[in-house]
Structure 1
Amino acid sequence: MPEGTDDPRLSAEGELALARLALDEGDLEHAAGHLAGAIAYAPTMPEVHEVLAQLAARTGGGVDLFPLDQHPFIGTVVARAHLLAAAGRPGDGLELLAAATGHAPLADWAGVPWVSAPELPGQLDPDQIARILMQVCAGIPDPVPEPAREPLWPYLRLARHAVAAHPRHGLLLGASSALARRVGALTLAMEWAGQGARELPSKLSEVWLGYAYRSAGRTEDALAALRRAVTHDPDDLSVYADIAGTLADHGELDEALEWIDRALTRDPGFDCAVHTGHRLRYRRDGSLDHLVALADFQRDHPDDSHEHSDLAECCHGQPWLGRVPAATEAVVAAIRQVLADGDQVTGGELRLGGLEPPSAMRSLLGEVPGLAVTVAAVPEPDLREPRRPVTHHLWRYDGTTAQPALSPPSASAVDRIRHLAHPAWPHPPAAYDAAVGLATVELDDLLGLLVHPPAPPATDLGRTLAEHDPTLWTRCVQVWVCLGLLHHRTDEPWPDSTRRRVLLDLVWGVEDWATEAALFALVTAAWMDPSVRAEVARLTAERLADAIVVGRRRPVSIQRSLAHLVLATPQAESSAAEVARHLLAQPAGGRQTPRPRRFGQFWHRMWSRLHR
């Protein structure tokens, strides 16, 4: 598509002027090139089509001036389509327009008179029209958002005229229904699909009818049609998954899973059934095991029949599974309040009852320059000390003031993290894959980013975070840096690797947001590599237990986040998961309910581990 224009019509007029000049000079190839540019900018502009007709008249059709090479320009494709139609080959022209729509569906490629002419379908084989409509459907969403439907109306008019010309062609009726459904013409979709099923009883006809009913909210009719589709072709397991998904959307999880089990009995590796089955089982009982099994299946079957979104759907919006949890410290609340008030605050004094994580404290000082912070007390265990002996230290303290213990990162490292960091991801394996962009960043730079987070980028997201919650940006940077650490020196075997040692140092170092980020990276490693799951499950249990020990003597602001991390851990220890759920069920800072039955068992085992 053309780029860099604010006024497509003005750009089209410029290309058109050059095309006319070249045509006057007899330079037909340059004229064709400029016409292709003009039609890409303004595909329905009458003047463009007038000059295209002049070119055709000068060259005996002009089709050869718009060749389809390996990567044709879209304007070339569309111009060729119109010339083919003018040369008596409208079916071939429609196929090219459908291809253009699949490539750029927001442009009105088909909004020209010949496509909507009532007599056109009578000149075409209805099988070809059906294929063209299915080609259009394959390149657009289901349903198409309302603002994006207008460029598709010419195809719907084509479908109306085609059905009128070939009223008993079952395949055409079904394909027309599929298009009508996508653009919101549901009454037409049901009418055409029903007529198609009567004219051509088949699996495909019943599937189209079922989809039309489902889009219109007629669930029972949809299920009846899809069940009839199964009787036509019991071996098409994708219909089983469709039935299961429809049942599940209406709360019939048990029956939905019966259909999934029927499909898996026929083919245990059928990807649609596997994905749908794990998603529905997760909806039924909430066990993370289903999502981990689905991730394992995706890793072991990279060539599935089509892309699935079940894992992303289940992880969407969930702490650590799909997003960075927001910080909860008192100083963070103060930052948000300052930003909400809209005043530029400098200086002043703030008294805190106790010390908070260094990343939170540094964020406060960054947002309120010159602020004098007084900490009333530093209760034991001292937050300024690592929870276990470590080699890599992020912070040093001057009294109660935290200072980075590392040099600032390089400009290239800053640039990479600013392009990569984001508060959400589809699921942990997707986050791992995305972080590969940090694989070549030096270790010192990665660690430096943890304590010297750059300003948010000048994007919509960056500006929003800067205006409302810059602490979330800092947490994003730390999370993605730690994910990047997973890609550091991957040639080293995991047990003795630098990446493992550094992440463990961060987990057991000074209590900080970097603790959460590093633990999430290790949890992500467990999602990716079954061989490390037992180790990571022990680690998350121990880190939560340590936070509970400390929390008996002073506040631990990251404790709830650690609980979420336990629940995001593959093969998490059952007692640790029970304690995590109990902790999260408590209102933050509120009255505690009785501990779960297995709390004592968990506590005894964790206490033994922590004091070896």
Structure 2
Amino acid sequence: MAEDDRALPAAEELVLARRALDTGDLEHAAAHVAAALAQAPTLPEVHETLARLVAAGGDGAVDLFPLHHHAFVGTVVARAHLLAAAGRPAEGLDLLVAATNHAPGTDWAGVPWVTTPDLAERLDPDRTARVLMQVCAAAPDPVPRAGRAALAAYLTLARNAVTVHPEHGLLLGAASALARRLGEVPLAVRWATRGVRVAPSKIGEVWLGYAYRSAGRTRDALAALTRAVAHDPDDLAVYADIAGTLADDGRLDEALDWIDRALARDPSFDCAVHTAHRLRHQRDGDVAHLVALADFVRDHPDDSHEHGDLAECCRGLPWLGQVTPADGPVADALRRVVADDHLGLGVAVRLDVPVPPSALRTLVTTAPGLRVEMADGVDPDPREPRRPTARRLWRYTDTTVEPAVPAPSPEACERVRQLAHPAWPHPPAAYDGAVGLATLDLSDLLGLLVHPPEAPSTALGRVLGGQDPALWVRSVQVWACLGLLHHRTDEPWDDSTRRRVLLDLVWGVEDWVTEAALFALVTAAWVHPAVRADVARVVADRLDDVAQVARLRPVPIAVSVAHLALATPDLAPGARALATALAGIRPPTTDARGVRALLNRVRRFLGTVVRRR
């Protein structure tokens, strides 16, 4: 199904349609009516014009709206209305549901012929049940409040159908599933309860279990789902449903017992595998479960349906689902500058601890009037690479720092502006998302690390650039390093340019870039099992170096590096223990909690919907 790029207002389309009707040009009139329907599907004037078209076209009017492989949505909806008017409402309703599945936020069905009680009397109840199930299949559970009005006509159809066919079990269950999604939970419970009473079945008990679960009646939900298993012991998806319900109720051991029962029947059943890894990670926090789940997803691309377990587990976790907030005195100063436009005027900031050059550069560019005073004689010198490297990104002069590489091209800046954000569903998704940077030159990718462009003028960009510039800079650096993973991928990993450059960045001066480069390596290990041993050694070595320096002076990136290590596949147990200790060096500060709240708002732009039956 396709959209129309013309985007004329519906009123203008109707004017053009009427002109075409006046001249007898029915094909052009139909095209304009379809365009108007696509923009205003419930507008009475649109349907009045459609009725004029039917009067002019007679029995052949429906053929003015032909269906083909990429039919325009307005054409599909117009044909639906004409089929209903011609005494074929079931066919018309099928087309409206197709439009709803294409654009569920539009009220395609909010017209009198759908909501009238007569339609429910004319339709076979099995057909109505299938229609409601098709609507549910494309709707989130629950539907956000703002999107419920667009589906209200289908709930009216369900009410009318249940009134006409009060003892039809399949219809009652499907109606319950729709009511639950639209927030009518007590109604969903009543309909599902009646459905399993008049026609006991596995799917009826599943619908009842979900209705009880939405109502907060966990014991009743588990009882219904257990009865569903009794109906069909081979439907392992229900085992996963029971496990998820038990886990939500805090009964993790029982949940895992149900999952083990499912896996004993079929070790490769996707729902059970996803749920098992999610629950085991929930139990002990070991990233190995999530890596195993990512491997399963990669090796089984044809799963029965979409799962959100990996994203659910990674959401909000440092580096697994988001960049860690910047920490330290510069980060705190940046947030104060953003909160108070006058703070940088003639004010001096005294820095007695090492400061990542990216942080210092972001501070002075955000508040040009701010005076920065830095302590001397810190050892080991944070301005020197931790190991010899082939390239340096920064040049120090007294208390200032300047980029040591050229600025990136405008094209590179625009590409990263479109991609960069501080949250992602999980590391493999971040890797896939960065493929748009694959064709950038190495000089551009390095330039982005120290010459980050301004945040875009989107809602997300305004949140990042306006409330925490450090978060935007760190996001750009993360995505630039992810872009390096796609650089010259034809080269074998061990001797590749991408590995060599990332190692230079990892062992350079202590900086936000260090974290971004380490995250790129960790992501490579998630995506490519063959590089895991190499990446685990690099991360362990860098972590050990951080720990040694931290015994002598503060290391601003220490906690973040520890979290990166905890996200690394196949990390040695000793390194994992060290990372666990370093990650607990200090509790979250008030400012850090504020940034996490900001990240929660950012994730609204990146939410993952997990659908239920």
Identity of aligned residues (%): 66
Contact kept, 8 Å, 1:275 with 1:308, in 2: the verdict is yes
1:127 equivalent in structure 2: 126
Contact kept, 8 Å, 2:344 with 2:369, in 1: the verdict is no
1:571 equivalent in structure 2: 570
What do residues 150-174 of structure 1 show as CA deviations (whole Å, max 9, x unaligned)? 2222211211221222222221121
1:239 equivalent in structure 2: 238
Greater mean alpha carbon deviation, residues 498-507 or residues 345-354:
345-354
Structure 1 residues 119-198: aligned runs within 5 Å: 119-198=118-197
Distance 1:468 1:303 in 2: 41
Distance 1:472 1:589 in 2: 16
- 1:402 partner letter: V
- 1:60 partner letter: G
Q: Structure 1 128/511 Cα, relative in aligned 2: closer, same or farther at 3 Å?
A: same
Distance 1:336 1:504 in 2: 31
Distance 1:354 1:173 in 2: 67
2:430 equivalent in structure 1: 431
What do residues 252-275 of structure 1 show as CA deviations (whole Å, max 9, x unaligned)? 111111111111111111111000
CA positional deviation for 1:371: 4.1
Q: Match of 1:389, SS? A: coil
Greater mean alpha carbon deviation, residues 508-517 or residues 465-474:
465-474
Q: Match of 1:67, SS? A: coil
Contact kept, 8 Å, 1:347 with 1:368, in 2: the verdict is no
Distance 2:45 2:85 in 1: 16
Greater mean alpha carbon deviation, residues 495-504 or residues 342-351:
342-351
Distance 2:81 2:553 in 1: 75
Q: Match of 1:119, SS? A: helix
Q: Match of 2:127, SS? A: helix
Distance 1:16 1:280 in 2: 56
- 2:152 partner letter: W
Q: Which runs of 5+ in 2 are unaligned?
A: 590-613
CA positional deviation for 1:499: 0.7
CA positional deviation for 1:332: 2.2
2:40 is the alignment partner of 1:31: no
Greater mean alpha carbon deviation, residues 41-50 or residues 441-450:
41-50
Q: Structure 1 194/352 Cα, relative in aligned 2: closer, same or farther at 3 Å?
A: closer
What do residues 453-502 of structure 1 show as CA deviations (whole Å, max 9, x unaligned)? 11111122222222221111111111111111111111111111111111
1:535 equivalent in structure 2: 534
CA positional deviation for 1:508: 0.8
CA positional deviation for 1:42: 1.7
Larger radius of gyration: 1
Q: Match of 1:397, SS? A: strand
CA positional deviation for 1:229: 1.1
What do residues 220-247 of structure 1 show as CA deviations (whole Å, max 9, x unaligned)? 1111111111111111111111111111
2:17 equivalent in structure 1: 19
2:380 equivalent in structure 1: 381
- 2:210 partner letter: Y
1:58 equivalent in structure 2: 56
1:557 equivalent in structure 2: 556
Count residues in correspondence: 586
Q: Match of 1:60, SS? A: helix
Greater mean alpha carbon deviation, residues 398-407 or residues 133-142:
398-407
CA positional deviation for 1:312: 0.7
CA positional deviation for 1:399: 3.0
Q: Structure 1 354/202 Cα, relative in aligned 2: closer, same or farther at 3 Å?
A: closer
Q: Match of 1:572, SS? A: coil
2:200 is the alignment partner of 1:201: yes
Contact kept, 8 Å, 1:190 with 1:213, in 2: the verdict is yes
Question: When the two structures are superposed, what TM-score results if normalisation uses the length of structure 1?
Answer: 0.92
Distance 1:377 1:169 in 2: 81
Structure 1 residues 66-465: aligned runs within 5 Å: 66-343=65-342, 345-346=344-345, 348-465=347-464
Distance 2:562 2:250 in 1: 30
Distance 1:40 1:400 in 2: 61
Distance 1:352 1:186 in 2: 57
Distance 2:166 2:509 in 1: 75
CA positional deviation for 1:535: 2.1
Distance 2:377 2:273 in 1: 53
Root-mean-square deviation (CA, aligned residues, Å) is 1.8
Distance 1:192 1:465 in 2: 46
Greater mean alpha carbon deviation, residues 47-56 or residues 62-71:
47-56
Q: Match of 1:396, SS? A: strand
CA positional deviation for 1:343: 2.1
1:583 equivalent in structure 2: 582
Greater mean alpha carbon deviation, residues 431-440 or residues 372-381:
372-381
Q: Structure 1 124/355 Cα, relative in aligned 2: closer, same or farther at 3 Å?
A: closer
Contact kept, 8 Å, 1:12 with 1:38, in 2: the verdict is yes
2:46 is the alignment partner of 1:48: yes
Contact kept, 8 Å, 1:332 with 1:471, in 2: the verdict is yes
CA positional deviation for 1:117: 1.5
1:483 equivalent in structure 2: 482
CA positional deviation for 1:4: 8.2
Contact kept, 8 Å, 1:347 with 1:369, in 2: the verdict is no
CA positional deviation for 1:286: 1.1
CA positional deviation for 1:347: 5.1
Distance 2:220 2:177 in 1: 17
2:604 equivalent in structure 1: none
- 2:42 partner letter: T
Q: Match of 1:319, SS? A: coil
Distance 1:442 1:165 in 2: 67
